[in-house]
Amino acid sequence: MSCGAVRDRLSAHLDGELAGREAHLVEEHLQGCAACARHWRELRAALELLAQLPEEPVPEVVAARVLGRVEAETRGPGLRALYRSSWSARPLILPSLVPAALLLGLTLSVALRLDTPAVADEPLPPVPAQMLGDWNTAPARPAPLVHTAKVGLPRAREGVLPEDVLDQMVEGSLFLETVVGSDGNVSEMTVLGGNQELASPLREALWRERYEPVRYRGRPASVNVYRLISHLEVRAPLT
Amino acid sequence: MAVSKVASVGGAEMATSEIALGRADAAEAARTVPAEAGLLEACRRGDPGAFAQLVGLHQGLVFNLGLRLLGDPEEARDLAQDVFLKVYRTLGSFRGQSALRTWIYRIVVNESRNRQRWWRRRRREKCLPLESLPAADSAQLVADESGADSPFETVRRRERGARVQAALRQLSFDHRAVLLLREVEEMSCDEIAAALELPEGTVKSRLSRAREALRQALVRGGGALS
């Protein structure tokens, strides 16, 4: 058997898939050919290295976010559960949070508005009327584009909520809507619910945040981000 | 570090209690395979605890496979979220013709492939390579020191890991996928064929080329191999 033929069969040989006679021929060749024997040793060593890759710990935020989004999708029972579990501990937060959350429905939905008017050649997909809200009556703005699946959330580039602001969060939560513009700056901010006393220091910190803007159809676009900020949340950078 | 999270109304409390499912529990539960059907049924009924359990059981494989396929922890984290949401939304269409694990692998590979296409175009140049990045690394090192390994052994192991990851990055996505499923996830060729929706013969020939490509990449990367 030639060196080429042997090397073509090494993978199958490794998996024990060669028939008896073929396996024997390969083994025989490996014993007599130093180059192929070295090739064989390297192949096995490479796969061993691969199999020994250390398992990395999963960031806690993965499960927290997945379950949070699933919870938001199964709104009804989810919010009832939240109401039950948190009512006794934080009676003041929920009355303001729950209605705000219900109004917004799927809170992870991303409503996208293109800033640039240069998309005239590309007709925008129709937007469900209920998602348009006030924008319907604001013709000066470009029509908002509702898009959920393919548009990511903007990534925070800088701007971290300062510790002293966070410490105040022990006593409450704040639910707000921010608009991250196509330049990566926060351009709008609306407090939707929660402890209004927290709004002022938080808003200052949030205005300073800078993002990597999301892109849609190759252009930077502005995007609505709904945020629930509270001491309950996993401490992790906003993505 | 910011505590802001994109609004997940009510998720936080449930989440923090459920993600306490440690690896030991996960391994324990994985052994009780017949429980899988019951778990799936409970997920389909909309039992949030059941889905949390499913996430706890599989998040390790989803995150780690994504990490090896994409080479970037942040991407892998986002990928894992997308994968589980897809699992949640399509649970109704999963009929159990393959193992749950195989089905999840398929979603991970497909989502990674899509994400990589998008990512390559947009922001690859901005990402730090895996071996220079994870902030978790230093924490991991400290954690390992308390275990059986010496710090020296720990560092050596991480260096080897970085070297393998660098070699993997030189392979095509398809080669990387088939190699990881076979060598790291220890799937059989017919399981891989089911997960990737390919004929078994194609899996075997691709695996052979991928193994050889990895050998060459590691040899090029320097250091003794055999």
Is A108–B184 a contact, with Cβ atoms under 8 angstroms apart? no
A86 Cβ under 8 Å from any chain B Cβ: yes
CA dist A76 and A74 (Å) reads 6
User: Over the stretch A86-131, which tens digit does the pLDDT of each residue have?
Assistant: 444 444 444 555 444 444 443 434 444 444 444 444 444 555 544 4
Q: Please give the residue of chain A at the shortest CA–CA distance from B166.
A: A50
pLDDT, position B224 = 59
Across the interface, which of B12, B51, B73 has its CB nearest the CB of A64? B12
Amino acid letter, A30? L
A239–B74 C-beta distance less than 8 A: yes
- Average pLDDT taken over every residue of chain A: 67
| CA dist B8 → A49, A223, B33, B88 (Å) | 40, 17, 31, 16
- CA-based nearest residue to B120, from B73, B176, B71, B160: B71
Residue A234: per-residue pLDDT = 35
- The answer to whether the Cβ–Cβ distance between A68 and B5 falls below 8 Å is yes
- pLDDT beyond 90 at A38: yes
Residues B203 and B192: beta-carbon distance below 8 Å:
yes
CA dihedral A219, A220, A224, A229 (to 10 degrees): 140
The answer, yes or no, to whether ipTM is higher than 0.90 is: no
CB B28, CB A187: distance < 8 Å:
no
Amino acid B104: pLDDT: 93
When pLDDT is averaged across residues A25-29 and rounded to a whole number, the result is 95
CB of B207 less than 8 A from some CB of A: yes
| Tens-place pLDDT, residues A156-208 | 666 556 666 666 665 566 777 778 787 888 877 777 776 666 667 777 777 77
CB < 8 Å to B218, chain A? 42, 46, 49
Tell me which residue in A52, A59, A63 faces B55 most closely, judged by beta carbons: A63
Residue A79 pLDDT greater than 80, yes or no: no
More confident residue, A55 or B14: A55
Nearest CA in chain A to B114: A150
Closest-CA residue of chain B to A81: B10
How many degrees, rounded to 5, is the angle at CA B159 between CA B171 and CA B79? 50
**Does residue A14 have a pLDDT over 80?**
yes
Report CB contact under 8 Å: B3, A175.
no
Residues 6 or more apart whose CB falls under 8 angstroms from that of A10 comprise A26, A39, A40, A43, B208, B211, B212
Q: Does B10 touch chain A (CB under 8 A)?
A: yes
Specify the pLDDT at position A46. 93
Q: Which residues of A touch B43 (CB under 8 A)?
A: none
Give the pLDDT confidence score for residue A70 in this predicted structure: 80
What's the pLDDT at A114? Answer: 42
- pLDDT of the residue at A206: 77
For residue A128, give the nearest of A158, A153, A106 by alpha carbon.
A106
- pLDDT the model gives residue A110: 44
- Provide the 10 A C-beta neighbour count for residue B213: 19
- Min mean pLDDT across A10-14, A63-67, A172-176 is at A172-176
Q: What is the pLDDT of residue B106?
A: 93
Within 184-213 of A, beta carbons closer than 8 Å to B belong to: none
B contacts of A153 (beta carbons < 8 Å): 6
Chain A contacts in chain B segment 64-93 (CB below 8 A): 64, 67-68, 73-74, 77-78, 80-81, 84-85, 88
Q: Tally A–B CB contacts below 8 A.
A: 247
User: Chain A contact for B48, CB < 8 A?
Assistant: yes
Which residues of chain B fall below pLDDT 70? 1-35, 97, 119-149, 223-226
Dihedral sign computed on CA atoms, order A71, A75, A76, A80:
positive
Q: Is the pTM of this model over 0.80?
A: no
Q: What is the percentage of chain B residues whose pLDDT exceeds 70?
A: 68
Q: Is residue A85 less than 8 Å (CB to CB) from chain B?
A: yes
Tell me the shortest Cα–Cα distance from A135 to chain B, in angstroms. Answer: 22
Distance from CA of B170 to the nearest CA of A (A): 14
pLDDT score, position A169: 60
> Which residue has tokens 């470009």?
A142
Tell me, what's the pLDDT at A164?
63
CB contact under 8 A, A235 and B211: no
